[in-house]
Amino acid sequence: MNYLLSWIIWLPIVGMLAIAFIPRDKSELIKQISAVVSGLQLLLAIYLWSIFDQAVGTFQFMERAEWIPSFNITYILGVDGLSLPMVFLMALIGFIGVFVSWNIDKAVKGYFSLFLLLNTGVMGVFLALDFFLFYIFWEVMLLPMYFLIGIWGGPQREYAAIKFFLYTLAGSVLMLIAILALYFTCGKTFDMLILMETAPIALNGMLWWGMSAIKVIWVLLFIGFAIKVPVFPFHTWLPLAHVEAPTAISVILAGVLLKLGVYGMLRINYTMLPDGVFWFAGALAVLGLINVIWGAMCALAQKDLKKLVAYSSVNHMGYTLIGMSAVIAASTMNGDNLISAQAGMGGAVFQMFNHGTISAMLFILVGVIYDRAHHRDIDGFGGLAAQMPIYTAFVAVAFFAGLGLPGFSGFISEAMIFIGAFPVFKTIVIISTLGILLNAAYFLWAFQRIFFGPANEKYNDLPEINTRELFTVVPLAVITLILGIYPRPFLDMISATLNVLIDSVVSLGGFTSAF
């Protein structure tokens, strides 16, 4: 399979074209095709994982084709230990998402076409190694997302959809400026592999109106990615979009789309602007801390269960930022502590993956109760544990995983992040552990209000979670548990790549002369 990566990216488009030829009233067939296509994609992703060489830290399965030679635009794909977990995550969540959306009955054809298009866009971002291609995929995601929130969403869907669209577009046009600036200053190429080598040298010492070019480009890219993460203060689109989006779209949004921002920073900012990493690491850690505390506090205040889960995403992504900032520990001036850099970066990538599975699980479970009770008011339930014991058990698993209980994967990644960042950002790490406490507070408090206490008679005959819903939750719960007990396979997969990344950041960056 020479074109394995292309297949993974374009398979959903094939499915979308197939759906286009099916009459709109055959909604079962449309759903089945979507399921088959995403199932195949998941199999390909697993196959990719199985033949991926973990010992190699550079890109594998590279594909390269001429595209627009006059502007030096090439079709380049490749996968490494950073993108592989994300590809797997997207394939998994994409597959589960089809089943989560099974009871969609409004314009089924349009929904699944857009769903598959979204899948292609996300996969493309993770696998593209040409900056132009990367940008195209990055933008291709926006329109399907707009429609999926805007047409199939909740009561405030129009506002949520346009807010999401405007925020992300504002970020990505800044990214476009940065891409073009890199193109013209670093040898007129969009090839990321070349840019990774030329950019740190070409930009060294370059000044634009008295500001370092590295800082300018860093900030432009950072804002673009930060809006996706979302980093405080760019996070306000997120709770709204999450709450209004249909369940499956919230699942994709939290499970995969938020990772695009962090992935972009690691893939682009860290490799092309290593000097900027040293300049910005402190700010990154502080922003991460704000995300952690702010997200947790907001979650604590929510009455809407879905909003609570949405804010928990803000909180969880904050840990990732703190972990990423630990990379500077490996430089000589920060103590030459390679182990902590590895722990921090590994924890960040692991946290991305874990948040993908855990938040997907949380959103699916919120969707389950919403489908039955038609509201998500935390105080409006009570004593559900008696009515829905299996559901309660799964929510318990998801909540415990979310609050970082040992035994679940979230604990490992958060612990790695704290261990990694502690040598360099002691105060920040100490304060951010408070976030864990707040995490436990809002999850447990919500759990208590929904499942314990006097039973609400209105919900005496709520049906138990059904097989289809179990089918969507169980794989995620199993992954969370397995990786919580034995995280080795995952860490082995990413470590070689992260070592190369840490090494390049430390060896190319940190020249204070650059500023």
Q: Which residues lie near another protein (CB under 8 A)? A: 24, 68-71, 106-107, 135-136, 139-140, 142-143, 146-147, 150-151, 157-158, 161-162, 165-166, 169-170, 173-174, 176-177, 180-181, 183-184, 208-209
At its nearest, how many Å lie between another protein and the CB of residue 49? 29
3-class SS shares of the chain: helix, strand, coil, % to 5: 75, 5, 20
**Cα distance between residue 375 and residue 367, in whole Å:** 10
Kindly state the smallest distance separating residue 239's Cβ from another protein, in Å: 20
Alpha helices per DSSP H over 246-337 = 247-252, 258-264, 270-272, 274-301, 305-325
Residues 329 and 420 sit within 8 Å (Cβ to Cβ): yes
Of 68 and 434, nearer to another protein (C-beta) is 68
Q: Per the structure block, which two tokens stand in for 402?
A: 């979310």
Residue number, 137 or 394, with CB nearest to another protein: 137
Task: Name beta bridge partners: 66.
Answer: 74
Sort residue 456 into left (φ over 0), alpha (ψ -120 to 50) or beta: beta
The CB-of-220 to another protein minimum distance in angstroms stands at 9
- Minimum Å gap between C-beta 134 and another protein is 11
Residue 27 CB, nearest approach to another protein (Å): 15
Query: What single-letter DSSP state applies at residue 377?
Result: B
Is 208 or 486 the residue whose CB approaches another protein more closely? 208
Nearer to another protein, 89 or 178 (CB): 178
Beta bridge partners of 369: none
Residues in Cβ contact with 448 at an 8 Å cutoff, skipping those fewer than 6 apart: none
Q: Are 86 and 261 in contact (CB under 8 A)?
A: no
Q: Closer to another protein at the Cβ: 68 or 339?
A: 68
Whichever of 135 and 270 has its CB closer to another protein, that residue is 135
Classify residue 333 by burial, with Cβ atoms within 10 Å: 0-12, 13-18, 19+.
exposed
Please, which residue, 49 or 159, has the CB nearer to another protein? 159
Q: Which is nearer to another protein, 80 or 191 (CB)?
A: 191
Beta strands in 39-138 (DSSP E): 60-68, 73-79
Residue number, 5 or 308, with CB nearest to another protein: 5
Quote the least distance from Cβ 189 to another protein, whole Å: 13
Cα(371)–Cα(376) distance, integer angstroms = 10
Minimum Å gap between C-beta 237 and another protein is 13
Amino acid at 378: I
- Residue 241 structure tokens: 């979009």
- Give whichever of 102 and 159 is closer to another protein, judged by the CB atom: 159
Q: Which is nearer to another protein, 151 or 474 (CB)?
A: 151
Return the number of the residue (220 or 290) whose C-beta is nearest another protein. 220
Helices 237-244 + 305-325 axis angle, to 10: 140
Contact, 386 vs 418, CB < 8 A? no
Find where tokens 């374009």 sit.
Answer: 10
Which residues contact residue 514 at a Cβ distance below 8 angstroms, ignoring those fewer than 6 apart?
A: 203, 204, 205, 212, 214, 275
Looking at beta carbons only, is 17 or 56 nearer to another protein?
17
Q: How far is the CB of 130 from another protein (least distance, A)?
A: 13
Closest distance of CB 170 from another protein, Å: 5
- The distance of closest approach from Cβ of residue 431 to another protein in the complex, given in angstroms and rounded to an integer, is 35
**What's the min distance (Å) between Cβ of 180 and another protein?**
4
Do residues 77 and 134 lie in contact, with contact meaning Cβ atoms separated by under 8 Å?
no
Distance CA 322, CA 434 (A): 14
Shortest distance in whole angstroms from residue 131 CB to another protein: 12
DSSP string computed for 314-370? HHHHHHHHHHHHGGGGGSGGGT--HHHHHHHHHHHHHHHHHHHHHHHHHHHHHHHHH
Shortest separation between residue 152's beta carbon and another protein, angstroms: 10
Distance from C-alpha of 262 to C-alpha of 366, rounded to nearest angstrom: 25
